[in-house]
Structure 1
Amino acid sequence: MIRAGRQHLVRTLADLAAQQGVGIDHYTRLKPYAAEGFPAPVSSEGSRTRLYDGKQVDAYLLGKPVPPLPGPEVEDDGDLLDRRECAALIGVAPNSWDVYKRDPALVEARIEAGGVEHWPRRAVKAFQAGRPGDAAQRTGRPKSTGDQVPRDQVHGLVAELLDADPTISAATVTERLGVHRNTGQDALTRLRADRIADHIAAHPTLTPAEAAAQLGYPAGQVRRATARAGTVLRARHIAPYLTDVAAALHRAGWTTEQAAPDVQFPGDDRVVAALVLDAGQAPVPALVWDERYGWRTASSRRHPITKGAVPPSEGGGVRYLTGGITPPPDDVVAALTQ
């Protein structure tokens, strides 16, 4: 961390190299900062950018005693913390902090030192005090109000709760975060399904139910998650094929860029994907792939997948392509020109 009142003393490796009159590449090859007695970085362990206290470095280079910094037990609200230190202070993973830092108060408090984002300790503590789920008086989402957590933060917050308690229920998520029960249930299902799929990928002999049990998920809470996990695994298996089709469509000049297919899991039990053909000369607005029926054209770029992924009847711009469930990518292109 950068101690209170010492931001102006922060130096990067590039600054230290310039101080010695050498280039950064030469400096990092020599690694003088690895010598015994050289001041330790003030950046957190594992940080990609090393930061040093300039007053300490100057003393070392002059052969003088290096002035000590306050020990870790001494805290000042003006200390500047990087993302790892902020995460540690509030007891979450750094990836969770990457979500939390979008909070308007934290955006305003952010300070850049040495090209690295930092936040004053006081701002992090204030955020923690008002963080959803920490206030004892919270009893869920107030009646007739929307979710109390921005939608883009729900996944990270629920992931944190699931990390702490694999048996957590949607009701507890609702109470802790102040979100609608459906929001909490959906986030839990998606997270558990992804983790079950990851566990099966690492242990292929397991069934979804066995993987869920090993992860500590209660059997009565994971019926949807285990079903979705199987769907996630099928989606991962088919992903290279869908990417190849997207590449073939791009080579044909029907997409302005090779975008990844929009993959959805309607009902959590089947895989459906959409590819929008946004180039002016494209023969159809979009293509939809369904693991049950294969490819079909769609009449809408905005909503190529129908509600519930119900297969529409042919006509009105909808045509089912022949060739089976996974025809070769070039055959898909050829079918669109017929």
Structure 2
Amino acid sequence: MIRAGRLPYVQTMSDLADALGKKLTTLRNQKPYAAEGHPAPISSPDARNQLWDAEQTKAFYAGEPIPELPQVDDDEDLLDRHEAAQALGIEPVTWNTYKKDPALVAGMVLVPAGPKGTEHWPRRLVTAYKDSRPGRGAGGGRREGSGDMIPRDQILPRIAELLDADPAVTVETVSDTLGITKFPTAQNGLATLRGRRIADLVEQQPGLDLKDAALQLGYPAITHRAAVTHAERELHARGAQPYLQHTADALAAAGIAQQAQVEIRQLDGDALATAVILNPDQPAAAVVWDSRFGWRTSTSRRHPIGKDTDTPPEGEGIRYLGSGLQPNPDELLAALHDGRMGTKRPHPKP
């Protein structure tokens, strides 16, 4: 973790290479950070990107005593996804659902800053989220004919806890434990989460068949079809994420939107959509990307994507921007700045 007050001293592997006057590839090959006595990474052992404290590494390579880091937990400590999950007693994959809570989204810190940074959260926010969660089994079962008895934004995180405890958990158990409807709430929730976890495993083990991943995760055969379908859609969405994040970052760098992580919405079929909210001084409330129609402007900040239909939205304030489904950010920016550019309808697919 990054201890309170130590954020300015965080050192990535690239930073360490620069400090030692080495190329990054050389550093990775030589692995001086694996030498005996080298300061341990401050990132969690399972973190994808290793981080160090620059004051500690500087002292080590200068042959000086290595300064100690604070050992007492502080509300301003920054936790990565593994550490946040450990604090809540859940699996890291479950944290991927929890982190969508509005307070956690607002307080998330990228280290280092920028789209390639690793997500961290202040300990105080993780603790507050933990304290705000109802206890396991809250809801007391569902009365026949009643609706879901827990808030919508808590449904997937609560199902994820049950899936952590038992990969073969049934729709009936989820419904009875959480007080939610079997169909579609519990059924869809289980299929969605199993699909995400299959996608995680396939990314970790390239070439792994989706059904084999489901077997490795201990999912019953009867659940494979729905889970694999969701996994395919999840991987499809993740494939689009780098382009969409790059475009959102370009809009933020141009000063017309705030820096934010894009949230991809899965529509009916294989369609995907995301929205980037623009600053109030811009002529449009937001820009929306739809995998079927490309980029367009939106007049709504609250519901920029709107209802999902097979027909591209048209009307006052809607312009389709750029050529093709994935125009480069410069083309999109030019179209946003020039109200004469764009079309009332999306360009025909090539």
TM range, normalised to the smaller chain?
0.5 to 0.7
Aligned equivalent of 2:176 = 175
Equivalent residue, structure 1, for 2:297: 297
What's the TM-score, normalizing by structure 1? 0.57
Which residue number in structure 2 is paired with residue 93 of structure 1? 90
State the match for 2:53 in structure 1.
none
- Between the aligned partners of 1:322 and 1:30, the Cα distance in structure 2 is 53
Q: Is the aligned partner of 1:210 residue 2:212?
A: yes
How far 1:196 moved relative to its partner? 0.7
Give the distance between the partners of 2:313 and 2:85, measured in 1 at CA: 53
Distance in 1 (CA, whole Å) between partners of 2:90 and 2:315 is 51
Amino acid across the alignment from 2:72: T
- From the superposition, tell whether residues 267 and 314 of structure 1 become closer, same or farther in structure 2 (CA, over 3 Å): closer
Asked if structure 2 preserves the Cα contact closer than 8 Å seen for 1:276 and 1:286, the reply is yes
Cα distance change, pair 246–186 in 1 and its aligned pair in 2 (3 A): same
> Are positions 1:49 and 2:72 aligned together?
yes
Distance 1:296 1:304, change over 3 A: same
* Counterpart in the other structure of 1:223: 225
Q: How many residues align?
A: 232
Q: Which runs of 5+ in 2 are unaligned?
A: 1-55, 57-64, 75-83, 99-123, 342-350
Letter in structure 2 aligned against 1:93: I
Give, in angstroms, the shift of residue 166 of structure 1: 1.7
| CA distance, structure 1, for counterparts of residue 230 and residue 270 of structure 2 | 6
Greater mean alpha carbon deviation, residues 140-149 or residues 266-275: 140-149
Would the alpha carbon gap of residues 207 and 299 (structure 1) be closer, same or farther in structure 2, given more than 3 Å must change?
Answer: farther
Residue correspondence of structure 1 range 306-321 to structure 2 within 5 A: 306-321=306-321
Please state how far the C-alpha of 1:150 moved relative to its aligned partner.
4.1
Determine if contact 2:91/2:164 at 8 Å carries over to the other structure: no
Report how far residue 267 of structure 1 moved. Answer: 3.0
How far the C-alpha of 1:312 sits from its partner, in A, is 2.7
Alignment of 1:17-56 (within 5 A): 49=72
Question: How far apart in 1 are the matches of 2:86 and 2:233?
Answer: 38
Larger Rg: 1
> Which residue number in structure 2 is paired with residue 156 of structure 1?
157
C-alpha displacement at 1:329, in angstroms?
A: 0.7
Q: Secondary structure at the match of 1:308?
A: coil
Distance (Å, rounded) in 2 between the aligned partners of 1:84 and 1:283: 41
Structure 1 residues 219-257: Cα deviation after superposition (integer angstroms, max 9, x where no partner): 3324333222222222222222212211222233322x2
State how far apart, in whole Å, the 2-side matches of 1:254 and 1:85 are: 38
Mapped to 2, the partners of 1:30 and 1:242 lie a distance apart of 42
Q: 1:132 corresponds to which residue? A: 137
**Quick one: distance in 2 between partners of 1:85 and 1:208?**
28
| Counterpart secondary structure, 1:163 | helix
SS of residue in 2 equivalent to 1:284: coil
- C-alpha distance in 2 between matches for 1:311 and 1:332: 22
Per the alignment, do residues 328 and 166 of structure 1 end up closer, same or farther by CA in structure 2, a change over 3 Å counting? same
1:272–1:290 contact (8 Å) kept in structure 2: yes
Tell me the equivalent position of 1:193: 195
Instruction: Return the alpha-carbon distance in structure 2 between the equivalents of residues 301 and 30 of structure 1.
Output: 49
Aligned partner letter, 2:271: R
Partner of 2:278: 277
The superposition leaves residues 283-304 of structure 1 with CA deviations (integer Å, 9 ceiling, x where unpaired) of 3222111223221222322222
Aligned-partner residue type, residue 206 of structure 1: L
State the alpha-carbon separation in 1 of the partners of residues 227 and 329 from structure 2.
Answer: 32
Deviation at 1:146, TM superposition (A): 4.2
Correspondence for 1:105: none
Q: For structure 1, list consecutive stretches of 5 or more residues without a partner in the other structure.
A: 1-24, 32-46, 52-82, 100-114, 119-123
Q: Which amino acid aligns with 1:158?
A: I
